[in-house]
């Protein structure tokens, strides 16, 4: 343990599950964040109080961090205070996105269950709104995003650009190396700029409103199968209001891909 630099308490520590009360609070926070993403810790605390959840700012902040939820509002620029070594600039501003696999967008979201919760990683093709890859996990480890990206590349080829937020999953050596290995340009959102990655954010809102909140699952296997079925429906049958003539994502993705071939 000395060689690894670990203490006995760290080695044998078993993470404690959140209480049933905290899980209810987390689900309430998630629903409110989907509707009002600008609400921060204080605003969320006050809103929870209106639902008779009397919790302090410290707990709300901890739960929001656990859920990977960040309020959207202008913040001071910290670019001169030692930003992460692997932070990259936003490449999509004024970029005309004209074909599939030109730009992919990746993100992670909290998924509530009847008891407990999971994290969903997904990648969307920005041009067609087609979900090219996804995975369900019980941690926020960066390896999860790398696994989803690797699988997406295997099934759909490489994008020219992949866009993400500035989370630790993406401002890491491993993430940058897998992108560079496949010749993918790395783009990252500006701080607190949710519109920089709006395509995947809209998908989160859609899947939660149309499936997750309506079908709370007890088992991870059932949740995984349900998400799989919903994404298949989203890709192949659901007209997308963000596309011209309300096209179905797979039709636009495959049509342009076949034309390019």
Cα 123 from Cα 157, distance rounded (Å):
13
Predicted confidence at residue 130, as pLDDT, reads: 97
Predicted confidence at residue 219, as pLDDT, reads: 93
What six digits make up the tokens of 15? 């993470």
Predicted confidence at residue 6, as pLDDT, reads: 38
Q: Facing residues of 211 across strands?
A: none
Nearest Cα residue to 83 out of 166, 184, 179: 166
Cα 197 from Cα 120, distance rounded (Å):
16
Predicted confidence at residue 193, as pLDDT, reads: 54
Q: What is the mean pLDDT of each run of 10 residues along the chain (261 residues)?
A: 39 60 93 88 93 93 91 52 71 92 96 92 96 95 95 96 92 94 92 69 94 93 96 94 83 74 53
Furthest-apart CA atoms within the chain: distance in Å: 63
Q: What is the DSSP letter of 87?
A: -
Predicted confidence at residue 16, as pLDDT, reads: 55
Predicted confidence at residue 132, as pLDDT, reads: 97
Predicted confidence at residue 261, as pLDDT, reads: 53
Q: CA dist 175 to 186, 191, 220, 248, Å?
A: 9, 19, 27, 31
């Amino acid at each position: 343990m000395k060689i690894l630099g670990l203490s006995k308490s760290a080695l044998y520590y078993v993470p404690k599950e959140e209480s049933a009360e905290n899980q209810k609070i987390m689900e309430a926070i998630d629903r409110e964040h989907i509707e009002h993403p600008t609400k921060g810790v204080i605003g969320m605390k006050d809103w929870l109080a209106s639902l008779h959840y009397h919790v302090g700012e410290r707990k709300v902040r901890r739960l929001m961090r656990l859920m990977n939820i960040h309020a959207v509002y202008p913040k001071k620029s910290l670019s001169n205070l030692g930003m992460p070594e692997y932070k990259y600039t936003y490449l999509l501003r004024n970029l005309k996105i004209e074909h599939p696999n030109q730009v992919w967008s990746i993100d992670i979201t909290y998924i509530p269950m009847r008891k407990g919760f999971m994290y969903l990683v997904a990648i969307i093709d920005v041009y067609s709104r087609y979900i090219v890859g996804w995975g369900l996990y019980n941690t926020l480890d960066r390896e999860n995003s790398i696994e989803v990206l690797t699988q997406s590349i295997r099934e759909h080829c490489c994008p020219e650009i992949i866009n993400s937020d500035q989370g630790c999953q993406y401002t890491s050596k491993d993430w940058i190396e897998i992108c560079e290995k496949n010749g993918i340009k790395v783009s990252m959102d500006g701080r607190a700029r949710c519109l920089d990655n709006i395509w995947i954010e809209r998908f989160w809102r859609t899947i939660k409103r149309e499936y997750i909140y309506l079908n709370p699952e007890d088992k991870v296997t059932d949740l995984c199968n349900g998400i799989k079925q919903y994404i298949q429906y989203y890709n192949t049958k659901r007209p997308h209001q963000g596309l011209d003539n309300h096209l179905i994502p797979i039709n636009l993705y495959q049509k342009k891909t076949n034309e390019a071939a």
